[in-house]
Chain A
Amino acid sequence: MVGWDRIRPSRPTRLGRGSDSNPRHERIPSSRTVRLGRVQPQAPGHRTIYCNDRDANLPVRFKGNSISTTKYNFFTFLPKGLFEQFRRVANLYFLTISILSTTPISPVSPITNVLPLSLVLLVSLIKEAFEDWKRFQNDMAINNNPVEVLQDQRWESIPWKKLQVGDIVRIKQDGFFPADLLFLASTNPDGVCYIETANLDGETNLKIRKASEKTWDYLTPEKASEFKGEVQCEQPNNSLYTFTGNLIIQKQTVPLTPNQILLRGCSLRNTEYVVGAVIFTGQETKVMMNTMNVPSKRSTLERKLDKLILTLFATLFAMCLIGAIGSGVFIDRKYYYLGLQEDVENQFDPNKPFVVTILTMFTLITLYSTIIPISLYVSIEMIKFIQCAQFINKDLHMYHIETNTPALARTSNLNEELGQVEYIFSDKTGTLTRNLMEFFKCSIGGEVYGTGVTEIERGIAERDGIKLMESKKSANTVQERGFNFDDARLMRGAWRNEPNSDICKEFFRCLAICHTVLPEGVESPEKITYQAASPDEAALVTAAKNFGFFFYRRTPTMIFVRESHVDKMGKIEDVSYEILNVLEFNSTRKRQSVVCRYPDGRLVLYCKGADTVIYERLAVGNDDIKKVSREHLEQFGASGLRTLCLAYRDLSPDIYESWNEKFIQAKSSLRDREKKLDEVAELIEQDLILIGCTAIEDKLQEGVPTCIETLARAGIKIWVLTGDKMETAINIAYACNLINNEMKQFIISSETDAIREVESRGDQVEIARFIKEEVKKELKRCLEEAQTYLHTVSGPKLALVIDGKCLMYALDPSLRVMLLNLSLNCCSVVCCRVSPLQKAQVTSLVKKGARKITLSIGDGANDVSMIQAAHVGIGISGQEGMQAVMASDFAIAQFRFLTDLLLVHGRWSYLRLCKVITYFFYKNLTFTLTQFWFTFQTGFSGQRFYDDWFQSLYNVIFTALPVIMVGLFDKDVSASLSKKYPEIYREGIRNVFFKWRVVAVWAFFSVYQSLIFYYFVTTSSSGAHNSSGKVFGLWDVSTMAFTCVVVTVNLRLLLMCNSITRWHYISVGGSILAWFCFIFLYSGIMTTYDRQENVYFVIYVLMSTFYFYVTIILVPVVALLCDFIYQGVQRWFFPYDYQIVQEIHRHEPEGRTRTELLEIGNELTPHEARSYAIAQLPRELSKHTGFAFDSPGYESFFASQLGVYAPQKAWDVARRASMKSRPKIGQKK
């Protein structure tokens, strides 16, 4: 902490251009004070870095650049790993039992409990070690990557881990940045470089970074070694898209922005090499700070399993109590042969029956410890792991070939939760829709252009019974990605003849100028590609191009547009517009503006944004156009189109200059820069003149309607939560079968006249009160109506549509119950205009309030909170940023894969896990109960029935493997039938297979079977059982009983299988064989140490009698008879749904489609698959986060050139929102 005393608090200063003339060292204003060298907690500090000067940095002891993602190291592995293991109650319990069993009160030798426990621990530790080893190797590979660092005027290659803060490094093309770097110089002109952030956020388009002009020269090693700068910047944090700091170089202060930062994990593209100074290293880099531990979710089934285990504990206690009381009563001196006459130890002292009872209690606990299935958790973990890694991740049905994206299970403990989902919360854009934007229609100056008919309109028309003629595409329709527009009135300069041609011109110019798109490639209309942050923007610029306003080049201050037909038909001229300011988009502003100067000196502000924000800022007057345009907007919305309003404002130089001064002030402020910029922007985005609006079509994803219909048939209720307008949302809901005309729709909207009127008065308190009242009234009305429908027999299905503002009030604690009651009665719910936080709130409303199992699916950062709030979070991968995927539990490429994920994998997982758990329960209970019955006939002494080794290996060898086979391979109906009959999924929702009733049935059979084992074997073994008249002893009988138990329990498994593969036979046969092999060996040897040689030769004695063979056939058959009858009767008279399906398709072979697909999959090597996928890949990946129009991963570096910070990313806001909501969720748990 020595470095801290360098930092002096200083007053806030203005930076920017003005600061060049300021010779004083400017410091970042620090809100924290340094006292006695101690850092005050919470205060955001900053760090000072001396570039190219290792000695100066030494006192501060920055962290090294080596990273470690491992959980353990060589020394901590055993203690830490064991500690982790013993945090599980079951393991701790067995540890206690093991310790107990070393005391003399134990009837069993310690081996009985120690062996299974150590085996279980061993398996778990090996798994942990293996995973950690892989992480370690990965870390090592990364840490040892070479990087070129400046040493003695030469570039020396050193491994990444040796890198230190302040070092000057050179990164070559395609190289990865080893740490967070300050970008100093590049081989490209203008000091720019291109980076790919795919590792960071999954975006594959290139981003531009630009070095500060002051440092452009430090490119060669000679020059770079002269570089001595001091960087003052924020402390390491996890915000990927913000950075605040100053570079003090040659007594000048240069402000640093995210544009000068090259983040670790990104790679350099299209640039020969760059030179940078290391700012954050190793664990302190932003990407490492971002590896947050997602709170692990536990599945509902597992929570229920805990209850089962608790019940088992209770049973154990009851059994022990019975035995213990019995022992206290039994013990008596009259049994002289027990040697109770003198100095008897406490446990058998007839004078102290109470002490005997207590001690026998412990004895029995150790004896019956097998009732708790020790290997259950490990087995479940293994099963789930394989289910994820091998089945879900490798399923060809969920492999999206176009984007080469397989499904990905990111957590392995929620598989069976997928089989019980009742509510799905879905994002719209990018999830239901393709996020492939096409310019479709527009309205200019109150006139609608565009002749296309959207899929949704077609759908509406079909519902209304109108057959739409498939309009023939005219021959000259331009077919281009992002442009699906046809109207002869506008194309090819025809707009000149329109009455409103002037406003058309403004419209096109606005499209061509007001954006942050980068052109790439040859500057011809055919070959150019646009790098845009959101596909909407690209579509708009493409549209402008097709209208004859071809934007072809951009420099930091200029935009070049090739305009056709402006002055005269057919005339083409290149016009350059000077870009003075860019007011960036962000999710609060919901608009974007550009101030530009025409070549003739005209100053214009072009603005585009969401209709609500634009209408608020329009100049008075022109009410006709406003009204007509609003109608058009609604019309577009009704057709499922995404709309934007365009507006402009002519600026006088005076007004502009005075505003620009404020703007410069704001952009150079160091604190709250974003907020200040927003405020300043507000000043000029006033008195706008409406030009028109655009309508972009967002196509539905493939297979969405069928998928939704299937899911609905499966009893899953789907809620759509979207940021879109109500009309759009409703129509998308129509288009994808969520809502249809047979449904009764309840619409709760804030767009009523009454509310508008109150809003126009502007009193916030009054507005809130009024809307709340309105919402309450509406909810009450809807609820009453819904209940009347509910009581009628064949009432219509219900649907609820609610908008974000109403939702805000409806989520109020006082109304929440009403909302919940209403929405639970509805089959589908559409929430529109909701914020990310509200999405999470709605999700947890259902999760907590209704205690149903919820699933959230989304693709964007605004869905993160919702994904984390739900029981199961699903991210759409391969589309855009990785934020949703990173927060999710499962990632799939397409919405339609939900069918496979839920109906096939989820259902199977659920079924298998239920079987595994109930089987474990059964086999341990049965085993322990035989022991329990024996206790009654031993004078409650706690004598063990079985040999120690039998008992210890029962769980881990003789019955371990087959149940895992069930967990992996059991399949009631084939995948195709699961999808054909989605109704069978409802059994999972109702949790049919793991109810207490099911457990009770198993418990009943356990009791029955254990009685059979015990009494059949003991009764039949009394008397001689050998033709030479010799009789059996205790251990002969117990070995006989144990053989019966092992055989029966393994056969019982086959009886409950729905499909039996050869692995079942192998494992079941192998387990039984393992028992016989074991007993042959074990009873055949005698050891020298004082083991009680009880079972010596027992099996040979047994097998020399006919009795053995007669019994080994009889007992399992009798034991299984009851189960068999039960299963037969159950299937016959009370069949489960899946059993009906099984029988319908009993004679059909497994679905052909799957095998065919398998063939294809088999022939494509991964390499081929990849190249095929790449060939299929659209040139540009769409990036969008779900708001009507927002740009996530893109900073306009031209804006920052002028000192403007890139605004916060929408999803950063989302993440923060989700973080805020997390403690709340935690509390409710």
Chain B
Amino acid sequence: MDVDEGSGLRDSTEAHRIPRRSRWHEAIHQFKQQTLPACKPVLTPKWVITTFLLMGVIFIPVGLITLRASRSVVEIVDRYDSECIPEEYKSNKMAYIKDSSIPKNCSRFLKVYRRMKAPIYIYYQLDNYYQNHRRYVKSKSEQQLLHGLKFNATSTCKPQESNNGRPVVPCGLIAWSLFNDTYAFIRGRSELKVNRNNIAWKSDRDHKFGKHVYPFNFQNGTLIGGGNLDLSIPLSDQEDLIVWMRTAALPSFRKLYGRIEEDLDADDVVVVKLMNNYNTYSFGGKKKLVLSTSSWLGGKNDFLGVAYLFVGSSCIFISIVFLLLHMKSQRSP
């Protein structure tokens, strides 16, 4: 019923085009006739066995190397939150931590069981601390951190947006709950120097925290969540804050505190003078101090190496099982 005037024209042009069998037309033709060249992977036993064998052969060495790297790391972990409470407050930890008049200093003795080569990284580890809670994660203002008071649309920071009618810099729950335990290390009689610079990722320091943004009206409320900041240092240099504000993925996390840039020998005893300021008692969190060396892969984490080894060896195992089955029941092709 339609008067299709276009079709005749189109046909004639096509007629001119088709005889020149270009590669493109060949491909189009193969496409339409569904005969595109294709490889057909068929998971025959031979393939399965070979693949598994190959995977085993690759994975086991990788696993060994990774595990070795992890094992080369010396790590000392010390949980101090329960130990650093005077006996009389053991039953009422909250009273202890909330009372600012009680001195919070505490000493811990760490024995180095293996030689630790510098740099030795100092971490604090918090457990059962939900830095990844939705209310917590979003409670900051990227723009304010970068531009300071110039930026005042900080509604995301609630409930730590302002104090006494004035905005808080840095605002938000994350900054408000800044970790404020401090550590000092003494070996023998000399204090170990702790380098607290360059503990945050460079990208954070340079691009996320303003060089000319100074803390303002911080921790001035009725409730003090955590550490305070030096009002004279710009945010980009407050590396504690920067580290703290890169929120952790899991409720149990470590954060870098500083570096000891001297080697520690085996059987050295390090005395840690710490200020047990931070409140984890109210929600039953744990605080740990971690001293760790580092390998090319990072800190001590056997998981990857073990996983590699496990996968590699199970591949070998499966390939052997399959091989035996294959030998037993040769399928007629």
Q: List the interface of chain A (C-beta within 8 A of B).
A: 107, 138, 141-142, 145, 176, 199-200, 264-265, 287, 332, 334-339, 341-344, 348, 363, 390-391, 394-396, 908, 937-939, 941-944, 969, 971, 975, 1016, 1018-1034, 1036-1038, 1057-1063, 1086, 1088, 1090-1093, 1096-1097, 1100-1101, 1105-1107, 1110-1111, 1113-1114, 1117-1118, 1121, 1124-1125, 1127-1128, 1131-1132, 1139, 1142-1144, 1146, 1150, 1154-1155, 1158, 1161-1163, 1165-1168, 1170
Q: B324 on the interface (CB 8 Å rule)? A: no
Known: A1023-B301, A1121-B311, A1131-B43. Contact between A1154 and B35, CB under 8 A? yes
Q: Once bound together, how far apart are the Cα atoms of A1144 and B2, in whole Å? A: 50
Given A176-B3, A337-B225, A339-B139, does the pair A1029, B45 have CB atoms closer than 8 Å?
no
Are A339 and B55 interface neighbours, CB within 8 A? no
* Docked pose: A1034 CA to B140 CA in angstroms: 15
Contacts of A1165 in B (CB 8 A): 14-15, 18-19
Give the contacts of B243-301 with A (CB-CB under 8 A): 246-256, 259, 279, 282-284, 292, 294-301
Is there an interface contact between A1025 and B298, defined as CB atoms closer than 8 Å? yes
**Could you say which of B292, B294, B301 contacts A1022, with CB atoms under 8 Å apart?**
B301
Cβ contact within 8 Å between B45 and A1059: no
Query: CB of B102 within 8 A of chain A?
Result: no
Rounded to whole angstroms, the CA-CA distance of A1033 and B259 in the bound complex is 19
Question: A975 contacts which chain B residues (CB < 8 A)?
Answer: 34
A1092 to B51, alpha carbons, bound, how many Å?
A: 44
Contact pick for A1146, options B14, B42, B130, CB 8 Å: B42
Q: Which residues of B contact A938 (CB under 8 A)?
A: 130, 132-134, 251
Asked if B29 contacts A1105 (CB within 8 A), the reply is no
Given contacts A937-B132, A943-B134, A1038-B249, are A1016 and B307 in contact (CB under 8 A)? yes
Contact A336–B279 (Cβ < 8 Å): yes
Q: Whose C-beta in chain A lies nearest to the C-beta of B226?
A: A337
Q: A176-B3, A335-B133 in contact; A1022/B207 too (CB < 8 A)?
A: no
B188 at the interface (CB under 8 A from A): no
Within 8 Å CB of A1033, what residues of B?
A: 246-249
Asked whether A1162 lies within 8 Å of B18 as measured between CB atoms, the reply is yes
Stretch from B84-92, B105-113, B195-203, B227-235 that touches the partner: B195-203
Cβ A1118 vs Cβ B311 within 8 A: yes
Q: Which residue of B lies closest to A1058 (CB)?
A: B40
Query: A1061 touches which one: B37, B247, B282 (CB < 8 A)?
Result: B37
Q: Is the CB of B18 within 8 A of A1166?
A: yes
Known: A1059-B38, A1154-B35. A1024 touches B256 (CB 8 A): yes
Kindly report which residue of chain B lies nearest to residue A288, judged by CB atoms.
B1
CA distance A1044 to B300 in the complex (A): 22
Which residues on the B side are within 8 Å of A1022 (C-beta)?
250, 252-254, 301
Quick check: is B33 within 8 A (CB to CB) of the other chain?
yes
Q: Are the CB atoms of B1 and A1024 closer together than 8 Å?
A: no
Check if B322 is an interface residue, CB within 8 A of chain A.
yes
Give CA–CA (A141, B1) in the complex, Å.
Answer: 12
By a CB distance below 8 angstroms, the chain B residues around A1037 are 249-250
Q: Is the CB of B159 within 8 A of A391?
A: no
Given A1018-B249, A1037-B249, A1166-B18, is A1023 in contact with B36 using a C-beta cutoff of 8 Å?
A: no
Q: Which of B144-169 contact A (CB under 8 A)?
A: 153, 156, 158-160
List residues 79-129 of chain B with CB under 8 A from any CB of chain A. 119, 121, 123, 129
On whether A394 and B256 interact (CB within 8 A), knowing A939-B133, A969-B38, the answer reads no
Q: Are A1166 and B2 touching (Cβ within 8 A)?
A: no
B34 to chain A, nearest CB (A): 6
Bound state CA distance, A107 and B207, in angstroms? 25
Interface string of B170-213 (1 = CB under 8 A from A): 00010011000000000000000000001111011001100000
Shortest Cβ distance from residue B32 to the other chain A in the assembled complex, whole angstroms: 4
* Distance of A200 Cα from B1 Cα, bound (Å): 6
- Taken together as a complex, chains A and B put the C-alpha atoms of A391 and B32 apart, in Å, by 5
Question: What residues of chain B lie closer than 8 Å to A265, measured between beta carbons?
Answer: 1
Residue among A107, A335, A1091 making CB contact with B134, cutoff 8 Å = A107
**Chain B residues, Cβ within 8 Å of A1118:** 307, 311
- Among A339, A1038, A1091, the residue within 8 A (CB) of B142 is A1091
* Chain B positions within 8 Å of A1167 at CB level: 11-12, 15
A287 and B203 contacting across the interface, CB-CB below 8 Å: no
> Given A938-B134, A1110-B62, are A1024 and B294 also a contact pair (CB < 8 Å)?
yes
Name the 8 nearest CB pairs between A and B, nearest first.
A1097-B203, A1024-B299, A1033-B246, A1029-B121, A941-B134, A265-B1, A1059-B38, A1025-B298
Query: Which one of A1027, A1037, A1113 has the greatest number of beta carbons of chain B within 10 Å?
Result: A1027
Is the C-beta of B313 less than 8 angstroms from some C-beta in chain A?
Answer: no
In this complex, what residue of A is CB-closest to B139? A339
Q: How far is the CB of B242 from chain A (nearest CB, A)?
A: 11
Q: How far is the CA of A1063 from the CA of B200 in the complex (A)?
A: 44
Chain B residues with Cβ below 8 Å from A1018 are 249-250
CB distance from B213 to the nearest CB of A (A): 15
Contact check, B1 vs A1158: say whether CB atoms are below 8 A apart. Answer: no
The listed residue with most A CB atoms (<10 A of its CB), out of B226, B303, B311, B315, is B303
CA distance A1162 to B223 in the complex (A): 82
The answer on a CB contact under 8 Å between B159 and A1032 is no
Question: Mind listing 26 A-B residue pairs with CB under 8 Å?
Answer: A332-B283, A343-B159, A937-B250, A939-B133, A971-B38, A1020-B301, A1021-B249, A1022-B254, A1024-B254, A1025-B298, A1028-B294, A1029-B292, A1030-B199, A1034-B247, A1059-B38, A1101-B201, A1107-B304, A1113-B62, A1125-B318, A1132-B325, A1132-B331, A1139-B42, A1154-B35, A1158-B29, A1158-B35, A1161-B33
- Most A CB within 10 A of own CB, among B173, B298, B303: B298
Q: Are B136 and A337 in contact (CB under 8 A)?
A: yes
B11 to chain A, nearest CB (A): 5
Task: Known A-B contacts: A1031-B248, A1097-B204, A1121-B311. Give 7 more (CB < 8 A).
Answer: A337-B225, A937-B250, A937-B251, A1091-B142, A1128-B45, A1158-B30, A1166-B14
Tell me whether A1029 and B256 are in contact in the complex, defined as CB-CB below 8 angstroms, given that A391-B34, A395-B33, A1143-B333 are known contacts. yes
The verdict on A1096 contacting B203 (CB below 8 Å), with A337-B225, A1033-B248, A1059-B40 known, is yes
Query: Which residues of B lie under 8 Å from residue A1028 when comparing CB positions?
Result: 198, 294
Chain A residues in 8 Å Cβ range of B153: 1090
Tell me, yes or no, whether B143 is within 8 Å of chain A by CB: yes
Please tell me which one of the listed residues B1, B307, B333 contacts residue A264 in the complex, with CB atoms under 8 A apart: B1
B308 at the interface (CB under 8 A from A): yes
Q: What A residues does B333 contact at CB under 8 A?
A: 1143-1144
Nearest-Cβ distance from residue B53 to partner chain A, whole angstroms: 13
Q: Is B328 an interface residue (CB 8 A)?
A: no
B137 near A: Cβ within 8 Å?
Answer: yes
Contact pick for A1031, options B31, B133, B256, CB 8 Å: B256
CA separation between A348 and B314, bound complex, in Å? Answer: 46
What is the CA–CA distance of A941 and B225 in the complex, to the nearest angstrom?
21
B282 touches A336 (CB 8 A): yes
Q: Which residue of B is nearest A936, CB measured?
A: B251
Cβ-defined contact, A1106 with B3, below 8 A: no
B48 lies within 8 A of chain A by Cβ: yes
Asked whether A1030 and B256 contact (CB < 8 A) given A145-B3, A1024-B292, A1100-B203, the answer is: yes
B219 interfacial by beta-carbon distance below 8 Å: no
Q: In the assembled complex, how far is the CB of residue B31 from the closest CB belonging to chain A, in whole angstroms?
A: 7
Q: A1093-B208, A1096-B207 are in contact. Are A1034 and B41 (CB under 8 A)?
A: no
| Smallest CB separation, A261 vs chain B (Å) | 16
CB of B236 closer than 8 Å to a CB of A:
no
Contacts of B42 in A (CB 8 A): 1131, 1139, 1142-1143, 1146
Q: Which residues of A contact B41 (CB under 8 A)?
A: 1057-1058, 1060
Q: Is B9 an interface residue (CB 8 A)?
A: no
Q: Are B135 and A1132 in contact (CB under 8 A)?
A: no
Note all chain A residues with C-beta closer than 8 A to B325. Answer: 1132
Task: Give bound CA distance, A336 to B66, whole Å.
Answer: 40
Contact for B135 among A348, A1016, A1161, A1166, CB less than 8 A: A348
Determine which of B2, B36, B48, B137 lies in contact with A138 in the assembled complex, contact meaning CB atoms within 8 Å: B2
